[in-house]
Structure 1
Amino acid sequence: MTATDEALAIARLAGQTASDKKGTDVVALDVSENLAITDVFLVVSANNERLVGAIVDAIEEKLIAEMGLRPTRREGDRENRWVLLDYVDVVVHVQRDEERELYALERLWKDSPRIGLEITGVETSTEIPGEQ
């Protein structure tokens, strides 16, 4: 089983929006083989809490405007250190750099294939945060 076309479209739009808002190290993982509850994890870094909030707000607004999608759940926006937007097929994780390195989602889900996001205007990293 692989991520659905709709999940890929959501991840690509959210990833591009995050990048446009100065999110860094935008990575999408196809977790559909390992998780029954979602298809894609989108992971984005930001260097401070204010930027985390701005990226999350921009993604939410863009997905409402262009796809008519609202998250079923939004968690972590009180502190803006790690905010999660749950779109059922796609779960967006926007994390401060420190949380991204500490929790290392890419390392936890290293068996999940990466999804090419085709983000314009930025190079995406192939390094896994937290690994040397």
Structure 2
Amino acid sequence: MTATREAAALAQIAAQAAADKLASDIVLIDVSDRLAITDVFVVATGNTERQVEAIVDAVEEQARLAGHKPIRREGQRDGRWVLLDYGDVVVHVQHSEERVFYALERLWKDCPFIPFTDAAAEAHAAERAAGVDG
């Protein structure tokens, strides 16, 4: 079994929202074969508590605009690891220290990763290339 199209689409929205707030090491992990409760984990890193909060706010806003509201939000007080549960998609926004310590990708290494490309970074690179070439 693989993640549903709807879950993959929401995961892409969440990942792009995180990227727009300069999150690093964004990965999408298809956990649908291993877990019955969700299809995709989105994992993103913020370097400070403030950045973690900004990433979480951006993800919630973009998901809301796409018609999705989190079922649960955990970890907000500390700003070190915030979890947004959308049912089929669970977004983990971790401070860089927690990301290294808990290493979620290592725990789920047997699951397939869903490709993600930061559309804004790609557009910016294309603009720079056009400016250099033109």
Runs of 4+ more than 4 Å apart = none
Q: Deviations over 1:96-128 (max 9, x none)?
A: 0000000000000000010012322448xxxxx
Residue correspondence of structure 1 range 15-34 to structure 2 within 5 A: 15-34=15-34
In 2, distance between residues paired with 1:3 and 1:72? 19
Q: Which runs of 5+ in 1 are unaligned?
A: 124-132
- Name the SS of the counterpart of 1:112 in structure 2: coil
Larger radius of gyration: 2
In 2, distance between residues paired with 1:112 and 1:119? 22
Task: Say what the alpha-carbon RMSD is for the aligned residues.
Answer: 1.1
Normalised by the size of structure 1, how large is the TM-score? 0.90
Q: Which runs of 5+ in 2 are unaligned?
A: 123-134
CA contact (8 A) 1:12 1:119 kept: no
Aligned residues: 122
CA contact (8 A) 1:31 1:41 kept: yes
In 1, distance between residues paired with 2:34 and 2:118? 25
- Name the SS of the counterpart of 2:78 in structure 1: coil
Q: CA deviation at 1:50?
A: 0.4
In 2, distance between residues paired with 1:113 and 1:61? 27
Q: CA deviation at 1:38?
A: 0.3
In 1, distance between residues paired with 2:45 and 2:93? 6
In 1, distance between residues paired with 2:22 and 2:67? 24
Residue matched to 1:127: none
Residue correspondence of structure 1 range 1-132 to structure 2 within 5 A: 1-65=1-65, 67-122=66-121
